[in-house]
Amino acid sequence: MTDRAHVSTDSLEDALLPWLPQQRWFAAKGSPIASLRVASRVDVGSRSDVQVEHLLVDVELGDGTVQRYQVPLGFRDAAVDDLAAWRLPIQDGPFVYDGLRDPTVIALYSDAIAAADSIGPLDFRLVAGAAVDAGMSGRVLGAEQSNTSVILGEVLLLKLFRQVASGINPDIELHRVLAETDCTYVAPLRAWIETESDGELSMLGMAQDFASDSAEGWTTALTSVRDLLASDRSPEDMDSDFAPEARGLGAAVAHVHADLARGLGTDERDASSTVAEILGRVEGAVAVVPELAEHLPSARDLVARAEAGGTATVQRIHGDLHLGQVLRTPSTWLLIDFEGEPAKSLEERRRMDSPLRDVAGMLRSFDYAAHHLLLGDADVTDETYARASAWAARNSSAFCDGYAEVAGYDPRDHAALLGAYELDKAVYEAVYEARNRPTWLDLPMRAVGRLAPPVRG
Ligand code: ATP
Ligand code: MG
């Protein structure tokens, strides 16, 4: 059996320094690491010929910010070919690797969840009334994103957060509330993992039902757009017309909003503070996208109209809603990933906001889905572009119809505030595209032009 004591924390730190930046989920790619420290190292036990340790690793970047990462490690005496890609560069020691890639390590986590165990400072918690089977095997879900998701026994999806912040994780928090309201438009939360160090709580992962037979909203929407652009029929005659789906999605989002309001309350907020922030961001973005300057007068008008609307009802919302955050199962739509916008702090992500922000996020996503396939194609005719735009308009409208049926108000009745949220998002996209994909800049800029028409003078 491996003697982990032979691997000092110093050697682990030396090995993690080149290894971490190569991991897909490492958020600070390209920023030099000033220092790296193992903040916590816990023995999680052993199974077969593997020993498992749970590490929290603090990475200090050049600008002084510190990011904390969760890194479960497996230790074996002998190398295993299937795990070689995740090996830490440690010379003359045991074979050390990313434990979440090893089904044996996952089985250990899975059993700890089933037993609602505490292992050292790690607390595995079951949602009241939930039962999780022991002995489930696991496999990592497809392409790794900002977190690592593991499917357990084809029934649960265990998402381990890679970047860990102290405080309450909104994904777990909101899923717990939605479990209490029996919301059927999310995959029910069954368990989560948390830890306390230096009196501060951090949440490390969550397990919810795995919707095995589901398709991502983005994929379903793109199929519909592709079919429409390849045909000369009108959308309502197409088998893959998305409008009934968009309507159902609008209803699902409204149900989730109603449940979040019921579970965590609402508040009234003066719209002026929200729109002032939006205007500030639009003005700030001119430095990156100079073309935005001619839209500023109309943006100020839009914001003034939103402000004239008086107070806005705010509540907890999804915070980062788009077609990639919804799954279509054979029977319903599910909203996933309530973490909020990754770039914001935990505190900002937990702030109440208008549900119109989520609606605006989805409308922007329809616009992206519609025109995505045409980007970078120099031969696109005006007619094709118009067909794509009509797809976006049709589905935005169906989404709002579905939302209105459940919410009892139509988001379009708050046109100025909704428009201000759409503008906020479109300007964020414009900054992103200008920096990363300049040939795509036209897409958000057309939306900016619609929401805040240019004033040339
Ligand atoms: P990202 O970095 O893209 O935000 P993430 O690490 O935060 O990803 P999620 O967005 O929660 O993880 O989920 C990633 C993918 O896993 C989703 O796009 C979806 O395809 C799939 N997925 C998430 N939850 C479920 C579920 N309950 N059932 C089935 N598939 C799911
Ligand atoms: Mg996410």
What are the start-end ranges of the E strands in 240-384? 266-270, 311-315, 326-328, 333-335
Which atom of ligand 1 sits closest to the CA of residue 146? Answer: 2
Percent of the chain with pLDDT over 70: 98
pLDDT at residue 447, rounded to an integer: 97
d(CA 231, CA 227): 6
pLDDT at residue 342, rounded to an integer: 80
Which atom of ligand 1 sits closest to the CA of residue 145? Answer: 2
143 pairs with which residues across the strands? Answer: none
For 376-395, write each residue's pLDDT tens digit.
787 889 999 999 999 999 99
> How many whole angstroms from 302 Cα to the centroid of ligand 2?
31
pLDDT at residue 70, rounded to an integer: 96
Mutate to test the pocket of ligand 1, among 147, 148, 212 (most ligand atoms within 8 A of CB): 147
Residue that is written with structure tokens 């609606």 in the block? 359
Mutate to test the pocket of ligand 1, among 24, 26, 146, 149 (most ligand atoms within 8 A of CB): 149
pLDDT at residue 288, rounded to an integer: 97
Residue 28's contacts (CB-CB under 8 Å, 6 or more residues apart) are 21, 59, 61, 67
pLDDT at residue 375, rounded to an integer: 86
- Site residues for ligand 1, CB cut-off 6 Å: 141, 145-147, 149, 157, 159, 187, 208, 210-211, 214, 216, 324, 327, 336-337, 339
pLDDT at residue 5, rounded to an integer: 53
d(CA 96, CA 92): 11
pLDDT at residue 141, rounded to an integer: 86
d(CA 94, CA 4): 8
d(CA 200, CA 194): 10
Q: Mind giving me the DSSP string for 359-412?
A: HHHHHHHHHHHHHHTTTT-TT--HHHHHHHHHHHHHHHHHHHHHHHHHHSS-GG
Looking at the CA of 185, name the nearest ligand.
Answer: 1
pLDDT at residue 198, rounded to an integer: 78
d(CA 394, CA 285): 30
Sign of CA dihedral 147, 150, 151, 157: negative
CB atoms within 10 A of CB 397: 17
Report field, pTM of the whole predicted structure over 0.85: yes
For 163-210, write each residue's pLDDT tens digit.
998 899 999 999 999 999 999 999 999 999 999 877 889 999 999 999
> How many whole angstroms from 159 Cα to the centroid of ligand 1?
8
d(CA 392, CA 233): 16
Where along the chain do its domains lie?
4-87+97-209, 215-451
Domain 215-451, second-level architecture: Alpha-Beta Complex (3.90)
- Rounded to a whole number of angstroms, the CA Rg of the chain reads 24
The DSSP symbol for 113 reads: H
Low-confidence ranges of the chain (pLDDT < 50): none
Average of per-residue pLDDT values in the chain: 93
d(CA 198, CA 210): 34
Q: Distance of alpha carbon 214 from its chain centroid, rounded?
A: 17
pLDDT at residue 322, rounded to an integer: 98
